[in-house]
Amino acid sequence: MTKRKIINDPVYDGFLSVDHPALLAVIEHPYFQRQRRIKQLGLTHLVYPGAMHTRFSHMLGALNLMGRALDTLRLKGVQVSDDECLGAKLAILLHDIGHGPFSHTSERALADVHHETLTSLFMQRMNTGHSLDTAMAIFNNTYPKGFLHQLVSSQLDMDRLDYLGRDSFFTGVSEGIVGTDRIISMLNVHGDELVVDEKGIYSVEKFIVSRRLMYWQVYMHKTVIAADQLLLSILRRARDTGEPCPVPALGLFLSRLYTEDDFRNDPTLLDRFAEVDDDDVMVAVKQWSRSQDPTLATLCRNLVERRLPAIRFSNTPFEGVETDYFNGTGQLRNRSYDFNDHEIKVLYKDGRCIGISEASDQLDRHFLEKQVTKYYHYFPKPGATF
C-alpha cells in the first residue's frame, strides 16, 4: 500500500511522483492506459512535428500540478483533508478520460456526446473497487468545497496550466510559456473561492495573454483546422457510404451516431468506445485509401500523404459556398476570458478580493470580454487532383 511511482517528465525538468495506491490503480487501468494512444493535440503534428505528446502525459502533468497546488493551499492554512486531496487528484487525473481519437478533432463525430459526459460515465464505471465518490463530486461541482472544483475546471485550473506549458514545449511556440511555479505559489482560498494573492497579478496577466496567443498560433492554426476538416470528411464519407471498417469498434460508431441515452442504457457501448484510439482511425484511413469509392479513397490518400485542403479566413461569413466532402465552411471563436465562468479574483493583504479585470492595469474589461470570430472556407488547393 506504500508503492510509489516515479515518472520522468521533460516539461517540468524532473520527476513526477505518484504516491497513493488509488492513483496508481487508476493509472494502470485499461481506460487510462488508452490515453497513451490519443494525441493531446490531435492532428497538430502535421504543422508542428514535435506535437506528438499524448493525453496520458498531460493528465499526469496535471496531477503533478494539482499536488503542488494542494500543498501550497495547506501551507497557507486552507483546510483540505487527506481524503479531499486524494479526491481532487483523482478528479484531475481523470478529467480528460472521455476524449475520443485525436482528442477534440473527433468530438461528437463518433458519438453525439460531449467528452465531459463520457468522462463522468468512465468515472462511474471505474468506481467499482476504487473510492472515486469524492473525485466525482469534485469533478461535477457538487462537492461542498467549491474551490476544489475550480482547481480542476475554471479559468485558472491545473488543466490549463499544464496544457499551455506542455503544448508550448512540444510545439516550440514560446508564447505559451507561463510562470506556472509562480502562479501555483500565489494560489489561495477566500470565501470558498480559489483566488490569487496580489503578488501574482502579473503572472496571471501573462497567463491570460499567453492562452489567447496559443489559440491562434496552435489550437486554431489554419492548417490544423484544414487537417481536422479532412479527417472529419473521411469519417462522414465512410459513415454515409457504409464502407466496411477494418476495425470493428470504430465500425460500430460509424454505423450510427450514438447519444448519451444510448451510453446510459447500454453499458457495453462505453467499453467499445474505449477500444477506439488514434491508431485505429489511421489503420482504417490507410485501408480506405484503396477503397472502391473514389471520394473516400482520395480523401484518405490526402491525409496519409499530407495533401491538406487550402483554407482562407474572413471576418464575415462566406456566402454561396457549395459544400461537399472537399469544400466547406465554418467559424472559430476565441475569447481570452469568460465573465460567466469562475472569475479569476485577486486577494489583497487588506482583505479585499476583486476580479482580475479590476485589479489589473493591463487587462481591462473590454479586452477580456472581446470575442474574436473568424470564418473559414476550406477547398482543394489549385492543381490538386480529385
Q: What mean pLDDT do residues 7-31 have?
A: 91
The C-alpha cell 497579478 sits at 201
Distance CA(156)–CA(149), nearest Å, equals 11
pLDDT tens-digit map of 264-298: 999 999 999 999 999 999 999 999 999 999 999 99
- Assign 132 a pLDDT band (cuts: 50, 70, 90): confident
Q: Coil, strand or helix: which one is 1? A: coil
* Mean pLDDT value across residues 147-175: 96
DSSP letter, residue 218: I
Do the strands 14-18 and 5-9 form a parallel or antiparallel pair, or are they unpaired?
antiparallel
Q: Output the CA angle 43-48-52, nearest 5 degrees.
A: 60
pTM for the structure as a whole: 0.94
Question: SS3 letters for 294-363?
Answer: HHHHHHHHHHHCCCCCEEEEECCCCCCCCCCCCCEEEEEEEECCCCCCCCCEEECCCCCEEEHHHHCCCC
Kindly state the percentage of the chain with pLDDT values over 90: 83
Q: Where are the beta strands (DSSP E) in 236-294?
A: 258-259
Which is more confidently placed, 13 or 248?
Answer: 248
- DSSP annotation of 186 reads T
Chain segment 48-61, per-residue pLDDT in tens: 999 999 999 999 99
The pLDDT tens digits for 284-339 are 999 999 999 999 999 999 999 999 999 999 999 999 999 999 999 999 988 778 87
Return the pLDDT at 386.
Answer: 46
Residues 97-123: what's their mean pLDDT?
94
Task: Say how many CA atoms lie within 13 Å of 26 toward its Cβ.
Answer: 29
Q: Dihedral, CA atoms, 122, 125, 128, 134, nearest 10 degrees?
A: 50
Average the pLDDT over 110-123 and give the result: 95
Name the nearest CA neighbour of 337 among 358, 308, 351, 316: 358
Q: How far apart are CA 152 and CA 159, in angstroms?
A: 7
What is the mean pLDDT of the segment spanning 226-250?
Answer: 97
Residue listed under C-alpha cell 524532473: 14
Residue 13 near residue 34, CB atoms below 8 Å: no
Question: Can you give the pLDDT at residue 308?
Answer: 97
Determine the pLDDT at residue 129: 53
The domains of the chain, with CATH numbers, are 5-223+348-372 (1.10.3210.10), 225-307 (1.20.1250.30)
**In angstroms, how far apart are the furthest CA atoms of the chain?**
72
Segment 232-260 shows an average pLDDT of 97
